[in-house]
Amino acid sequence: MANFRTHFGVASVGGLLVSQAGWQASLYGLWQACAIAGLIAFGGILPDIDADNSRAVRLIFQILALIAVVMTVLVLQHRVTPAMLFAACGGAYLGVRYVASAVFARFTVHRGLWHSLLAATLSGLGATAASFTLLHQPAPLAWLHGLALTLGFLIHLTLDELYSVDLTGARLKRSFGTALKPFDWHAPGSTLMLILTSVHLFAWLPSFSVLRDVLAQSLTLWR
Rounded Cα–Cα distance for residues 207 and 147 (Å): 14
Partners of 166 in the β-ladder = 171
Rounded Cα–Cα distance for residues 63 and 124 (Å): 16
Beta strand segments in the chain, E: 165-166, 171-172
Domain range list for the chain: 4-51+110-222, 52-109
Partners of 172 in the β-ladder = 165
Tell me the H-state helices in 27-100.
30-43, 55-76, 82-94
Confidence of residue 65 (pLDDT cuts 50, 70, 90): very high
pTM: 0.84
Residue 169's pLDDT is 43
Residue 166's pLDDT is 44
Residues 6+ apart with CB under 8 A from 85: 72, 73, 76, 77
Rounded Cα–Cα distance for residues 113 and 191 (Å): 7
Q: Round the CA-based radius of gyration of the chain to a whole number and report it.
A: 18
- Among 51-60, 87-96, 136-145, 210-219, the minimum mean pLDDT is found in 51-60
Among 34-38, 114-118, 177-181, top mean pLDDT goes to 34-38
Confidence of residue 167 (pLDDT cuts 50, 70, 90): very low
